[in-house]
């Protein structure tokens, strides 16, 4: 099936003190219609910058897509103006964020903000639009919508606010929903409810979802396919089963071993030692995971590993799996 969204060799950079620093460097992957693709990695790996690049919501003063394409149904969004993007955002592609409070206007009622989305993209009358807003609230599990439309964001709980954001996001039946850590700010029981809601809505609307998360438990619940990002690059990509049962990249393996297991009574979580290199401290060349990788070899600091397919539908960026590498390193390490 043709891709709905195809990101090709995306480079997104920030101008810091006159120099371009790439938060997203050569990222390529795609999302098919109705597919749930989870993008995982620790914070600081470029997941949010990648999704803001797709929406063209980068900070205007210093962020920009420097190279690459963001093809939505075959049309490149990268060169579009704000005005052109406004026709697509909220209609064809919607986005929800970690903290709904920052996306909602604190001085406007919920109803006003919901109606606004529909006014922007339809010609319906005010009365029809209000009716639609209330029915959208019902769809996201808010039964007393008639009352909620007259309330302000601060009067709602975090979970309710996220439901409102989801209602606004699906108002125009988008083909793609981008959700950036949509449950991270919520407590655990509410998290589960919101994820269930996203799954239910995804099926009802028949949309694709790109879910950004650092939580592999969420990935296990939701994903058809998984894209693992590290330090601005895709390091592994495959269907969810293969990521969980046949992980290849040392970073993916490390992420998986850091999930707390139900059958282990551990006091301390396994975390990956070391930190993601910051924008200003990216190594000039070589593998970006080298100083945290348990399998690192001297040549890992010399060669930029390329993302390549090790088998159909499974790509890895690591010289242990690089078919173009001399055999010596592979024999020793596989
Ligand atoms: Fe580890 Fe080397 Fe592979 Fe990087 S290229 S992940 S350092 S083995
Ligand atoms: Mg983020």
33-50: b (≥16 Cβ within 10 Å) or e: ebbbbbbbbbebbbbbbb
Pairing of strands 93-96, 36-40: unpaired
Distance 53 CA to ligand 2 centre (A): 13
Ligand 2 ion: nearby residues, β-carbon < 5 Å: 48
Report which ligand 1 atom has the smallest distance to the Cα of 300.
Answer: 2
What residues pair up with 179 in beta bridges, in sequence order?
96, 211
Least confident window among 31-40, 68-77, 316-325: 316-325
Q: What is the C-alpha separation between 185 and 183, in angstroms, rounded?
A: 6
pLDDT-derived band of residue 334, with 50, 70 and 90 as boundaries?
very low
Instruction: Tell me which of 231, 251, 293, 333 to substitute to probe ligand 1's pocket, judged by most ligand atoms within 8 Å of the beta carbon.
Output: 293
Distance 305 CA to ligand 2 centre (A): 24
Please check the confidence at residue 174 and state whether its pLDDT lies above 80.
yes
Distance 304 CA to ligand 1 centre (A): 10
- Dihedral of CA atoms 173, 176, 180, 181 in degrees, nearest 10, equals 70
Instruction: Identify the nearest ligand to the CA of 292 by its number.
Output: 1
Report which ligand 1 atom has the smallest distance to the Cα of 250.
Answer: 6
Q: What CA–CA distances, in Å, run from 272 to 139, 220, 252, 253, 294?
A: 40, 19, 11, 10, 10
- Strand arrangement, sheet containing 314-317: 93-96, 176-180, 208-213, 36-40, 225-230, 233-239, 314-317, 307-311
pLDDT-derived band of residue 263, with 50, 70 and 90 as boundaries?
low
Q: Which residue has the tokens 């407590």?
A: 187
Mean pLDDT of the chain: 91
Instruction: Identify the nearest ligand to the CA of 319 by its number.
Output: 1
pLDDT-derived band of residue 325, with 50, 70 and 90 as boundaries?
low
Instruction: Identify the nearest ligand to the CA of 181 by its number.
Output: 2
Joined together, the tokens standing for residue 195 give: 């994820």
Q: What CA–CA distances, in Å, run from 88 to 54, 81, 222, 227?
A: 11, 11, 25, 24
Please check the confidence at residue 12 and state whether its pLDDT lies above 90.
yes
Please check the confidence at residue 265 and state whether its pLDDT lies above 60.
no
235-263: b (≥16 Cβ within 10 Å) or e: bbbbebebbbeebbbbbbbbbbeeeeeee
Domains and CATH numbers, the chain: 5-92+174-333 (3.40.50.300)
Q: Could you tell me if 230 and 219 are in contact, meaning their C-beta atoms sit under 8 angstroms apart?
A: no
Give the rounded percent of residues in the chain with a pLDDT score beyond 90: 79
Please check the confidence at residue 305 and state whether its pLDDT lies above 70.
yes
Please check the confidence at residue 30 and state whether its pLDDT lies above 50.
yes
Instruction: Tell me which of 288, 291, 300, 326 to substitute to probe ligand 1's pocket, judged by most ligand atoms within 8 Å of the beta carbon.
Output: 300
Distance 329 CA to ligand 1 centre (A): 11
pLDDT digits (tens, 9 = 90+) for 32-48: 999 999 999 998 899 99
Report which ligand 1 atom has the smallest distance to the Cα of 333.
Answer: 8
- The pLDDT value given to residue 328: 44
Q: Which residue has the tokens 């049309």?
A: 75
pLDDT digits (tens, 9 = 90+) for 92-143: 999 999 888 888 999 999 999 999 999 999 999 999 999 999 999 999 999 9
Q: Could you tell me if 77 and 54 are in contact, meaning their C-beta atoms sit under 8 angstroms apart?
A: yes
pLDDT digits (tens, 9 = 90+) for 19-29: 999 999 999 99
Please check the confidence at residue 180 and state whether its pLDDT lies above 50.
yes
Q: Identify the burial level of 74 via C-beta atoms within 10 angstroms of its C-beta, where 0-12 means exposed, 13-18 middle and 19 or more buried.
A: exposed
Joined together, the tokens standing for residue 123 give: 């010609």
- The pLDDT value given to residue 102: 83
Joined together, the tokens standing for residue 197 give: 């809601």
Least confident window among 6-10, 34-38, 58-62, 169-173: 58-62
């Amino acid at each position: 099936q043709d891709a709905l969204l195809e990101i090709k060799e995306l480079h997104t950079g920030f101008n810091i003190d006159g120099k371009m620093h790439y938060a997203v460097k050569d990222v390529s992957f795609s999302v098919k219609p109705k597919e749930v693709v989870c993008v995982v990695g620790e914070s600081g790996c470029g997941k949010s910058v990648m999704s803001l690049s797709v929406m063209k919501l980068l900070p205007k003063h210093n962020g920009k897509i420097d190279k690459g394409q963001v093809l939505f149904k075959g049309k490149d969004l990268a060169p579009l103006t704000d005005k052109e993007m406004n026709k697509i955002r909220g209609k064809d592609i919607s986005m929800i964020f970690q903290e709904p409070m920052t996306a909602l206007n604190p001085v406007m009622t919920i109803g006003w903000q919901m109606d606004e989305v529909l006014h922007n993209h339809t010609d319906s009358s005010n009365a029809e639009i209000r009716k639609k807003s209330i029915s959208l609230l019902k769809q996201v599990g808010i039964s007393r919508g008639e009352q909620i439309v007259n309330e302000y964001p601060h009067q709602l709980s975090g979970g309710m606010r996220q439901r409102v954001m989801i209602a606004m996001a699906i108002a125009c039946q988008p083909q793609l929903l981008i959700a950036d850590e949509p449950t991270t700010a919520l407590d655990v029981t509410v998290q589960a409810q919101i994820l269930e809601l996203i799954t239910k809505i995804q099926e009802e609307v028949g949309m694709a979802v790109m879910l950004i998360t650092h939580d592999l438990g969420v990935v296990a619940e939701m994903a058809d396919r998984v894209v693992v990002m590290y330090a601005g690059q895709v390091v592994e990509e495959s269907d969810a089963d293969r990521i969980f049962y046949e992980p290849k990249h040392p970073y993916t393996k490390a992420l998986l071993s850091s999930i707390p297991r139900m059958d282990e009574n551990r006091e301390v979580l396994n975390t990956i030692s070391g930190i993601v290199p910051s924008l200003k401290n990216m190594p000039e060349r070589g593998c970006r995971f080298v100083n945290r990788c348990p399998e690192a070899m001297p040549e890992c600091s010399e060669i930029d590993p390329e993302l390549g397919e090790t088998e159909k539908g499974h790509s890895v960026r690591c010289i242990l799996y690089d078919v173009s590498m001399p055999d010596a390193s592979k024999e020793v390490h596989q």
